[in-house]
């Protein structure tokens, strides 16, 4: 693929396209129970399940401060990565470690198995309203 071509797939929100060559920002949508996928500051899809590669766990400090001050959740924590378009049925549950974030209790994202904070992962599987790093 030359540099002027971009691999895109159709998202499922307002017919917007997902540029597979650029990172997306995923967050759990408390309204619809799915994962919202943002790219270029616009929601492009809502998924029950997806896989992200080369991930960073991001928290916007101003949003966290507002959530703590008002004691109301808001969108300020994301997983940034490259979404892939492939089947997920090969991933076994024993290969997954749950990662979570609570603005009222923790500094950042952390692993459930050992309470270790995490800011990067090679891959993240989003399913069942939870995020999992893939071992």
The per-residue pLDDT for range 63-96, each reduced to its tens digit, is 888 888 898 888 999 999 999 977 677 788 899 9
Q: At residue 53, does pLDDT exceed 50? A: yes
Whole-number Å distance between alpha carbons of 74 and 29 = 10
Max distance between CA atoms of the chain, in angstroms, equals: 49
Q: Please say if the pLDDT value at position 36 is more than 90.
A: yes
The pLDDT score that the predictor gives to residue 1 is 42
The band of 4, judged by pLDDT with boundaries at 50, 70 and 90, is very low
Q: What is the mean pLDDT of residues 27-48?
A: 94
Integer Cα distance of 11 and 46 in angstroms: 8
Where are the alpha helices (H) located in 16-125, listed in sequence order?
61-70
pTM over 0.75: yes
pLDDT value of position 123: 95
Rounded Cα distance between 120 and 128, Å, is: 21
DSSP per position, 55-67:
EEEEE-HHHHHHH
* Token code pair at residue 53: 């590669």
């Amino acid at each position: 693929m030359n540099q002027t071509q971009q691999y895109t797939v159709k998202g499922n929100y307002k017919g917007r396209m997902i540029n597979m060559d650029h990172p997306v920002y995923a967050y759990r949508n408390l309204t619809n129970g799915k994962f919202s996928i943002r790219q270029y500051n616009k929601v492009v899809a809502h998924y029950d399940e997806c896989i992200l590669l080369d991930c960073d766990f991001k928290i916007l400090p101003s949003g966290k401060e507002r959530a703590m001050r008002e004691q109301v959740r808001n969108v300020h924590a994301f997983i940034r990565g490259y979404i892939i378009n492939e089947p997920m049925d090969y991933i076994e549950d024993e290969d997954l470690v749950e990662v979570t974030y609570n603005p009222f209790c923790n500094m950042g994202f952390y692993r459930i198995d050992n309470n270790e904070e995490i800011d990067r992962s090679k891959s993240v599987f989003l399913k069942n309203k939870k995020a999992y790093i893939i071992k």
